[in-house]
Structure 1
Amino acid sequence: MPQAARWVGTPSIKGRTESARMALLTCSLAGLQFTWGIEMTYCTPYLLQLGLTKSRISLVWIAGPLSGLIIQPLIGVIADRSRSKWGRRRPFMVVGSFVVAACLLVLGWTTEIVGMFVSDPERVIAKKATIALAVLSIYAVDFAINVVQACCRSLIVDTLPIPQQQAGSAWASRMASIGQLIGYAIGSLDTVGLFGTAIGDTQFKQMTVIAALSLIVAVSVTSISVQERVLISARRDSDGKAGAIQVLSQLFKTTLDLPPRIQAICWAQFWAWIGWFPFLFYSTTWVGETYFRYEAPQGAAESKDILGEVGRLGSLSLVVFSSITFLSSVLLPFCVQAPDKNKKRPNFTPRPPERLAAVLTRLTAIRPDLQTAWLISDLMFAATMIFAPLARSRAFATSLVAICGIPWAISGWAPFAFMGVEINKLAINTSPTADSRSGITMITSTTIRHHHVDAPVADAELDVLRLNHRDVDSDTDDEEAGYPTAARASSSSPAANFASTGELAGIYLGVLNVYTTLPQFVGTFISWIVFSILEPARNEQPAGAEGVETPPADTEWMNVNSDSPNGIAVCLFIGALSALVAAEATRRLRRTEYVI
C-alpha cells in the first residue's frame, strides 16, 4: 500500500492586500531576470575581450539549455521530497542565490584571481587560465540560477489556490519584466561615472556586483514573506525505495507518460520556444547589424569600438521591448479570463458606476480566455518576425523587436498559469479513495485512464480532501494567516476553490522546462546550419604563419555587407514559422481533454 504524504502548517504570505502578497511572492523573479539580463548582455562581449573565438563562445552558451534540461527537473523532484523545517523550496532558493552571487563575483574578477597565481598576466598560460575560469563561472552561474528559478516557480504553485494560479503567473511575468527593464536601463548608464571605482573599476565588474546583491535581496524578500507548508513524510510506494535512482526514474517516466492536458501545454511551449530562442539571443546583434548594413555612414564599420556601438544600439531596442513587456504584463491580465471556466467567486463584487456598467459588461463579454490570448500571442509573434528579412532600417528593426514585447509577456505567463491549474486539478480529481490515509499518487496518463476525473466528488470525499489539504490542528483563518485568497471548498465547484498542495509541482514544472530547453538545442542547430550556408567565411578564422589561430578582427563577427543575405533575419523568419506551429498546438489545447 502506498504511504500518504503528510503535511504540517498552512501556506501563507505576508501583506495586507492581495497585490502586496502577490508582489512579495514573486519578487524573487525580478532578481532572477535582472541576473539573466546581465549575463546575456555582457558575457559575450566579455569573452570576446578575453580572446575567446566566436565558434567556441557558441559552445559556452550551451550551458543555459543544458543546465535547464538537467538541473531544473532534478531539483524539482528533490525539492518535492524535501522535509526541511523551512519548507521545500526556500532553502534551495536561498542557498542557490548565494552560489550565483559568488560565481558572478568570480566572473567579474577572473583576471585578478588568475593574477594571484600567475605573476605575468601577458603569459599564454595566464590568458588561457582566465578564459577557463570565466567559462567555468558562466556554467556555474547557469546551473545555480536554474536551481533558484525552479524553486521560485514551484513556490507559486505550492502557495496559491487554483483560482489564483493565473494571477500568480501574471504577477511573475510582471516582476520578471521589471527586473529585465531595470537591468537594461542600468546597463545603458555609465555606472563607473556614477559610482566611482568603489565596487569595481569597470562597468562589467560593477554590473556583476549589482546583479549579485539584487538576486540575494529579491530572494530574501520572498523567502521571509512566504510561509510554506512543511512535508513530514513523502508519499512512498510499499517497497520504501526513495533513492537517487528512483528520483531519476520518476522524472523519466513522468516525461514519457504525461497527462494529456499537460502534454499539450508542453508541446505548445516547445514549438513557441524554437521561435523565441533566436530572437532572445540574436535580436541585439540583428538591430545593430541592420544599422551598419543600410544606414551607417561610410567607414563607420571600421570603428575600433564597433562591439560597444552595436551593444548600445541593441540596448535601446531592448529597453523599448522591456517597457512594452512590462506594460503588457500589467494590463493584459485584466483583459483575459481565468483559465478555470468553472471558477465561482464567493466574494461580493462591487457594482461599478451606472455610466460604466454597460461598457464594462460589454468588455467582459468579449474578453478572451487565456488559451485564446496565448494563441493570439503566437500569431502576433509570427506575423511580426516574418518581416525580419525585409528590415532595412534600425527604426523598423527596433519596431519589430518592440512589438514582440506583447507576445513575450503572455508567453511568460500563460504556460505557467495552465500548468498550475492542471497540476492542482489532477491532484484533487485523482484522489483514489476517501480514506484519510491515502495520499496523492504519481499522476500520469496511465493514472488518469484508471480514474473518472470528470465524475463528481462525493460530499464525504470532500470532507476528507479538506482534511488532507489543510492543517487539522490549525484554527487560524486564511485571511488572518495572510493567505492570498480564501481556500474554502465550494460544493458547486470543489476543484476551483481548493488550496494548492503542489506535491508534484517541482517535477511537472521541471518537465515543462525540459520542453523549454530542448528547443534551444534545436534553435542552435538551425542557426548553425543557416550561418554555415549564408555566412561560411565567418565561422572560423584562418591560422597564422606559425599555425596559431589568429583572433578575429573586430568586425568579423558581424555581417555588414548589404548585398549578402542576413543570416540572423533568416533565423528569425524560421522562428516565425515555428510560432505558427505553436499557434496550432495552442488551438488544439482546447480540444485536449482528460483520458477516461
Structure 2
Amino acid sequence: MPQAASWVGTPSIKGRTESTRMALLTLSLVGLQFTWGIEMTYCTPYLLQLGLTKSRMSLVWIAGPLSGLIMQPIVGVITDRSRSKWGRRRPFMIGGSIVVAACLLVLGWTSEIVGMYVQEVETKRSVTIAVAVASIYAVDFAINVVQACCRSLIVDTLPIPQQQAGSAWASRMVAIGHLIGYAVGSIDMVKIFGTTLGDTQFKQMTVIAGLSLIGTVLITSYAVEERILISARDSDSKTGAIHVLSQLFKTALHLPPRIRAICWVQFWAWIGWFPFLFYSTTWVGETYFRYEAHRAPAHSKDTLGDVGRLGSLSLVIFSFITFISSVLLPFCVRPPDHKRPTFSPRPPPGMATLLNRVMTFRPDLQTAWLISHIMFGCTMVFAPLARSLRFATFLVAICGIPWAISCWAPFSFMGVEINRLALDQPTNGRPSVGLASANLRHNRFPSVESTDRPAEDVLRLNHRDADEDGSNDESGSSTGELAGIYLGVLNVYTTLPQFLSTLITWCIFSILEPAPAKLDDAGKLQEGGPAQDNEWMNLDSDAPNGIAVCLFIGAISALVAAEATRRLKLVR
C-alpha cells in the first residue's frame, strides 16, 4: 500500500479576536503589494529616463510574467514537499523578502554602483541600463517566491467556510499596501525628509519598500504556526527538477473542470489588468505633461519624480476606493460554496442595519466577479479620449472597484475548490481526520487555543494517495496538501496573458511611438537629454497615446473575461 503524507501539529494564528488573526495571517501582503506598487509606479518612467524607448521598455516587463510562470509553480511544488521544522511556507517567505530588499537597493543606486567601475559616458549608460534591467528581473523572481508562499499559507490555514473571508482580508491588505505605497509616493520625500535615505524620490522609495516587505513578512511568520510535514507521499518522494516540472505539466493538463474554468477567466482578465497596473501611472503623468503642463507653473528638474507623484496621486484614490470596496463588498456578496453552510463575517455595528438590508438582495461571488469585468472594460474603453489629468485620474480611480473583486474572487474560488476536493475524497476507505473537517463541523477559526490536541493526532489532509488498483496518480491528486501547486497553476494562467499583453504593447509602441531618445549626430545622448528632463516622453498632443491604446485593448479582453465568468456557472 503506498504511503500517505503524514503531518504533526495544527495550523494556528496568534490573536484573541477573529479580525486580529485574519489581519496577522494576511499582513505580509501589505509589504508585498507596497513593493509591487513602487515597481509599477516608478520603474517604467525610471527606465524611460535612462534612455530606453517605450517599445524596448515594454519587453523589459516580460520579467513579471516570466518570473511568475517559472517561480510560482515551482516554488509551490517545492514548498508543498518541504519538511522544514519551521513550516512549509514561512522559510521561503523570509528568504525571498531579504533577496527582494537587497535587489531594490541595487536598483535604486544603479548609477552610483556602475559609476564606481565604469567611467566612459556611453559605456556607463549602457551598463547602467543593463544593471537596472537585471535588478528588476531579480526583484520579480524573488518577489514571486514570497507571493506564492503568502497565498498558499492562507489556503493551508483556513477551512472551507472561511476561504472567502480569508481572500477578502487578503484583498484588503493588498489595497492597504497599494494605498500606503501610492500615498507615500505622491509626496515629495526628499523635500520633507531630506537626503538621509537617498537624494532622489526613487531611492527613498526602494529603501522603504524593502524594509516594509521584510517587516510585514516577519510579523506574519511569527504569528502563524504551520503544520509540519513529516513524510511525503510515495509519489512526492522524488524532488528532481525533471520530476517537479513533470508534475506541474501533468497537473495543468488534468485540472478539475471548475478549477480549469476559473483559470481561463483569470487568463482573459489579466490581458486587461497587466497594462493597467504597469502603465497607468505613466499614462496619467504623460496625459498631464502632454495636454496641461504648458499652462502650469514650471516644474522641478526631477521629471521622473513629477510623473511618479502625479501617477501616485491618482492611484492613491484608486487604492482608497479599492480598500473601501474590499471592506464593504464581502458583506454584500454570497460565498461561492452554496452547498455548504455559509460563513458571513460580522459587519461593523455602524453599518449593520444598512448591510442587513443589502444582504437580502446580495449577489453571489460569481455574479460580482462578472460585473467587475464589465465595469473595468466599460471604463478603460474611454482611455484614448482622456485629455486632462482629472479625467485620467477619474478613470483610474473607478477601476478600484473591479480590482478589489479581482484580488479576492479567483483565490476564494480556488481555496474552496482545493479544500472541497480534499474533503470529498476518502483516504484508503477511511474518513479523513484533520483541521479542515474539524473546523467544518464546529465552524471555529483556528487559533492558539486549537493547538491543544492529543499528541497522537497526526494531521492528514491527503485524500487521494492511490488509485483503486494501488498505483499513484500524480496528475489527479487533488488534496489540500497540494495548495501550492494548484495556486501555481492559477498563476500560470495569470502570467501567460502577460506575455501576450507584452507582445501587444510592444507592437503598439513600435508603431505609434517609435522615436528613440534624443541623440546627436554621433548617436550619443545630447547634453540635457533624457536623464535630465522630459524628452523621454512624447508630448505631441496630436499624436495617439500608445499607453491609452493598450488600455483600450485590455478593456476588450475584460469583456471576454466577463463571458468566461458567465460560463463558469455551467461547469460542475
C-alpha separation in 2, matches of 1:58 and 1:14: 43
Cα shift at 1:541: 5.3
Cα shift at 1:482: 4.7
Equivalent position of 2:554 in the other structure:
575
Cα shift at 1:258: 1.0
Equivalent position of 2:80 in the other structure:
80
1:170-185 equivalences in 2 (<5 Å): 170-185=168-183
Cα shift at 1:15: 0.5
Equivalent position of 1:89 in the other structure:
89
- Normalized against structure 1, the TM-score is what? 0.83
C-alpha separation in 2, matches of 1:306 and 1:467: 57
Note closer, same or farther for the CA distance 1:8–1:586 as it changes in structure 2 (3 Å cut): same
Equivalent position of 2:109 in the other structure:
109
- For residue 248 of structure 1, the aligned residue among 245, 252, 269 is 245
Equivalent position of 1:427 in the other structure:
422
Residue type at the aligned position of 1:95: G
Cα shift at 1:250: 0.3
Contact 1:108–1:208 (Cα < 8 Å) also in 2: yes
Deviations 1:260-297 (A, max 9, x none): 00000000001011111121122222223333444343
Contact 1:302–1:555 (Cα < 8 Å) also in 2: no
**Identical amino acids, percent of aligned pairs:** 73
- For residue 521 of structure 2, the aligned residue among 530, 540, 545 is 545
Note closer, same or farther for the CA distance 1:175–1:306 as it changes in structure 2 (3 Å cut): same
Equivalent position of 1:410 in the other structure:
405
C-alpha separation in 1, matches of 2:92 and 2:43: 25
Cα shift at 1:401: 0.9
Structure ID, larger Rg: 1
Question: Is 1:562 aligned to residue 559 of structure 2?
Answer: no
Cα shift at 1:115: 4.2
C-alpha separation in 2, matches of 1:348 and 1:526: 42
Note closer, same or farther for the CA distance 1:36–1:360 as it changes in structure 2 (3 Å cut): closer
C-alpha separation in 2, matches of 1:45 and 1:345: 46
Equivalent position of 1:366 in the other structure:
361
Contact 2:318–2:399 (Cα < 8 Å) also in 1: yes
Equivalent position of 1:15 in the other structure:
15
Equivalent position of 1:494 in the other structure:
none
C-alpha separation in 1, matches of 2:324 and 2:287: 27
Question: Is 1:332 aligned to residue 329 of structure 2?
Answer: yes
1:153-168 equivalences in 2 (<5 Å): 153-168=151-166
C-alpha separation in 2, matches of 1:542 and 1:203: 24
- For residue 297 of structure 1, the aligned residue among 279, 288, 294 is 294
C-alpha separation in 2, matches of 1:310 and 1:507: 39
Note closer, same or farther for the CA distance 1:362–1:514 as it changes in structure 2 (3 Å cut): same
Residue type at the aligned position of 1:326: F
Question: Is 1:275 aligned to residue 234 of structure 2?
Answer: no
C-alpha separation in 2, matches of 1:61 and 1:19: 37
Note closer, same or farther for the CA distance 1:107–1:163 as it changes in structure 2 (3 Å cut): same
Note closer, same or farther for the CA distance 1:528–1:587 as it changes in structure 2 (3 Å cut): same
Flag structure 1 segments of 5+ consecutive residues without an equivalent: 436-460, 472-476, 485-499
- For residue 316 of structure 1, the aligned residue among 313, 320, 332 is 313
C-alpha separation in 2, matches of 1:77 and 1:128: 38
Contact 1:14–1:482 (Cα < 8 Å) also in 2: no
C-alpha separation in 1, matches of 2:296 and 2:343: 68
C-alpha separation in 1, matches of 2:3 and 2:37: 44
Question: Is 1:390 aligned to residue 357 of structure 2?
Answer: no
SS at match of 2:510: helix
C-alpha separation in 1, matches of 2:496 and 2:193: 41
Question: Is 1:586 aligned to residue 553 of structure 2?
Answer: no
Cα shift at 1:385: 1.2
SS at match of 2:480: coil
SS at match of 2:294: coil
C-alpha separation in 2, matches of 1:27 and 1:349: 20
Contact 1:318–1:401 (Cα < 8 Å) also in 2: yes
Over aligned residue pairs, what C-alpha RMSD do you find? Answer: 3.1
C-alpha separation in 2, matches of 1:404 and 1:107: 29
Equivalent position of 1:190 in the other structure:
188
1:488-527 equivalences in 2 (<5 Å): 502-527=480-505
Contact 1:301–1:555 (Cα < 8 Å) also in 2: no
Note closer, same or farther for the CA distance 1:269–1:301 as it changes in structure 2 (3 Å cut): farther
Note closer, same or farther for the CA distance 1:214–1:303 as it changes in structure 2 (3 Å cut): closer
Contact 1:29–1:172 (Cα < 8 Å) also in 2: yes
